Structure 1
Amino acid sequence: MPVSLAALAAFAFAYAGMTGLSLTMPRHHEQVTGQRVLPSGRRHFFKILGWLLLILAIVPCIQAWGAAVGVVVWFGFLTAGGLLIILMLPYIPRLAVCAAAGAGIIGVLMLFIT
């Protein structure tokens, strides 16, 4: 996988994963959906999905940079994805979640295309 595509896929997975984990918090869930109560099943779904996407973000990093450097690059993308959701969630929460859904789809397509 070329480095540029691996970087795009890893960032997309990291952003989508961090968004999924943020939706497990009642405050952020209320910002996005307007519902005060966060059902337990939905909380578990977002938690599992978020962690799965964060773990999946390491795959393109290791493919492009190898195991030693790939893990370090993965931590960088986790930081960048978390920073982006931190900056977007207070101001445009619904757009942030829609962008995360699109990013997750783009990440999956990148893995299967190359």
Structure 2
Amino acid sequence: MERLDLVSQFILYFIREQEHSVKRREIESRYPRMTKNQINYRLNKMYKMGLIRKTEHQEYGRGVNTTYEWSAVPSKVEQYEEEHSRLVTPAWKWQEYADKYFDAFETRLKRLEREVQNG
């Protein structure tokens, strides 16, 4: 099983820790700097590897919209962890690292926005 990039591992960790299936919108709100396509690419890659399960749902609004919910496959995630021991790190350590990682992006973006506004 190939190694996932760091952001994919964060997403896998997030999906695994939820007690319910996760919609892409929840992942987008958790990682707002990523585009819809970046998230879909990573979800589909993990789906093809068998790490997560996809469930289709119909939402009714303006017509019928198909949405997907994602949930982890515990046995496959454990197998992945054994092969690549990176996810074996305690949950609090990953959470702390993820917060720092994405906070740094937000700080950089705000600094750039200020520079653009100031000329």
Pair in the same fold by TM > 0.5: no
Higher alpha-carbon Rg: 2
TM range (shorter): 0.3 to 0.5
Structure in which a larger fraction of residues adopt strand: 2
Normalised by the size of structure 2, how large is the TM-score?
0.36
Normalised by the size of structure 1, how large is the TM-score?
0.37
Structure in which a larger fraction of residues adopt helix: 1
